[in-house]
Amino acid sequence: MRNVLKGLAVATAVVVPTLAVAETVAISCGTVGQEFEQCKLGAEAWAKKSGHQVKLVSGPTDASEQLTMFQQQLSAGASDIDVYRVDVVWPGLLGAHFIDLKPYVSEDVLKQHFPAIVENNTVGGKLVAMPWFTDAGLLYYRKDLLEKHKQKPPTTWQELAEVAKTVQDAERKAGNDKMQGFVFQAKAAETLTCNALEWIDSFRGGTIISDDGKVTINNPKAVEALKTAASWIGTISPQGVLNYEEEGARGVFQSGNAVFMRNWPYAWALANAPDSPVKGKVAVMALPKGGTDGKSTGTLGGWQLAVSKYSKNPAVAADLVKYLTSAEEQKRRAIVASFNPTIASLYKDEEVLKVNPFYTSLLETFTNAVARPSKVTGAKYSRVSAEFRNAVHAVLSKTGKPEDKLKALQKKLESLGRGGKW
Amino acid sequence: MSVPSGMPATTTPTATPAPPPASVSQLSRQRVRSAWLFLLPTLVVLGMVAGWPLLRTFWFAFTNANLSNPEPPQFIGLENFATVWDDPDWWQSVRNTFFFTGISVTLETVLGMMIALTLNTRFRGRGVLRAAVLVPWAIPTVVSARMWGWMFHDVYGVINAMFLHLGFIDAPIAWTADPRLSMAAVIAVDVWKTTPFMTLLLLAALQMLPDELYEAAKLDGAGPIRVFFKVTLPLIRGPMLVAIIFRVLDAMRVFDLFYVLTTNSSESMSMAVYARQQMFEFQELGLGAAAASMLFAVIAMFTVVYLVLGRSAVEEAA
């Protein structure tokens, strides 16, 4: 009898292998805005479908802090986290710790995603991460306030400063003394690198380091861009932006205390949530140009999913990644929380556009988006970013002149980059 | 301290006993052995959790260890130390740390002394007050830093609201954004948090002082300020020095307050934050280890100064 049972068990295991073991995989979810909630919903849907279990790991909101945490985990070969949420600038840095996802994802599926992101995530011929959602800096504004004070949406930063000042002053005079003109992210963290790169690129001041590895940051256009940004602090922006990250800026804007905000697309769904004080009063557009001969741009951001080499269940983890990055899940996330899909066809999807009308104009922003110089600087990127944002932060807090700071930065980056051979 | 100058002559023999007979030596040897045996677990644990990481850090400081490089690190001599030495950001962090330490420890000592003197007098509810004073000390630093971070917020922080209401300022101030202001904010939080520690140590010292001394001083007609400077202060000098050196060593390696409250720009870093950034954010384990070793050296230097000062203080008293 016992033998028969054993035989039956073996037979079942062979015939229905998926029923054999329910594995548990751990995924690290982001914590900015609704990210954690949506990550959880997606992961749980997969668990239900696959019969496996999923464990969620949350981390710091600041990307560079999260990188620190991941790096300690990965360099210790820890198997605590199976699926990592990877910033667009990390594949070169962490790629060695991730498995190649090519065997798990079909060529057809891969082709649906933006090729630039797939290329970004391919390190040494290995697909180390799957695109999950993409990002670019956008300008949010209060269309009700602009209408009320008869102002037009700005096309250049100079116009933005004027409009912001006009509306802010008028609102303050009317008793709304907490009103701010423009909030953005200027804490000396990765997010300031993104903001500042947008200003400089919009003035056509380059990308800090060119694609061939030359340091280009010390140029008159970049100086002009930083001068412009520094002039906002204390006039249209509160001194406090110097310590704001995404959520700090969103807190001020969403509570109705700012005319303009620079942020990522995720803020759209939250600003229009039922309990949001600014629901229905917000519009989104591309970031302003740096002068009439500048260009509209946005720093390319976005997150990928990667499977750790040290995972005990790489195949199951890869299945979770496949599910979360699928068109179906990306569409759900776009509709409920405005996470930008990495699949081009979803930008023409009626249901998606109904909730996110600004997606049509976003496609243009994505094609114009500026990438941080992470690919050319490789493992040194976080150092480059830190030097850059520290210099910018000093200019914004007016402890240094842009000319001097950028000159010093140029020298520092040149010695860091050993003459372009990063 | 209170040993009369005539005493050493009689105490010397016990300090260096004459060669004892063989049987006693065996017994004392046995005692020494069991003493070591009892100490062994402690030493092993200490070696594992303190000694090993410290030695490893020292070793990494001389190598090109890098978090993103899986190959074993190579010895590169003093290169890391030279790099840190040449980095203006490091010196900025040194200046920040010293400034922070100097100001906050001074304020804590003065305030702690005032509170300790108050708590040392007899009044109703003294026990409750003594416990209440300890509350800030009991809250984990990260928690209190975060809490104060919100209180310092420029748009909806309670501190700005209070100051605006009282008319001290006419526009909200971004306390944690500007490197100059954030230093003041960090010092304020540290003083709030660690004054109780100072108070506690000073209070303990004050309570050891015999009442007779004060009665005698009173009889001699000395006023309270004179009594404080001529009687109290000289008598608690030793414990006060211990308290100050504890705080200085603690303040030198400050990390969480700076990390949570400031913007973390290179202008508002402490030495520990600098070391962390090199180590983990830039993956330069070797460089970070060198910075950490230099921080260790600075702290060790203070300890040596303290030991020398402490000895001379004892000798002076004797």
- 8 A C-beta contact, residue A413 and residue A405: no
Q: Which of A189, A382, A397 sits opposite B282 (nearest CB)?
A: A382
| Whether pLDDT at A10 is above 60 | no
CA distance B190 to chain A (A): 20
Confidence of residue A420 (pLDDT cuts 50, 70, 90): confident
Q: Residue B5: what pLDDT?
A: 42
Q: Does A63 touch chain B (CB under 8 A)?
A: no
Q: Does A390 touch chain B (CB under 8 A)?
A: yes
What confidence tens digit (pLDDT) does each residue in B141-191 have? 999 999 999 899 888 789 999 999 998 888 888 898 888 889 999 999 999
What confidence tens digit (pLDDT) does each residue in B227-275 have? 888 888 998 988 898 899 889 999 999 999 999 999 888 888 999 999 9
Q: Which residue of A has its CA nearest to B69?
A: A75
- Element (DSSP H or E) covering residue A320: helix A314-324
Best residue in B64, B68, B160, B266 for a mutation probing chain A (most A CBs within 10 Å): B68
What confidence tens digit (pLDDT) does each residue in A327-367 have? 999 999 999 998 999 998 998 899 999 998 888 877 777 77
Alpha-carbon separation of residue B31 from B26, B28, B34 (angstroms) = 9, 5, 5
Q: Does A75 touch chain B (CB under 8 A)?
A: yes
The verdict on a CB contact (< 8 Å) between B177 and A257 is no
Q: Which of B69, B176, B277 sits opposite A243 (nearest CB)?
A: B176
The verdict on a CB contact (< 8 Å) between B178 and A71 is no
Q: Which residue of B has its CA nearest to A242?
A: B177
Q: Which of B263, B267, B280 sits opposite A243 (nearest CB)?
A: B263
The mean pLDDT of A271-287, rounded to a whole number, is 93
The verdict on a CB contact (< 8 Å) between A72 and B280 is yes
CA distance B318 to chain A (A): 52
Which residues on chain B are in Cβ contact (under 8 Å) with A383? 282, 284
Q: Which residue of B has its CA nearest to A398?
A: B178
Amino acid in position A329: E
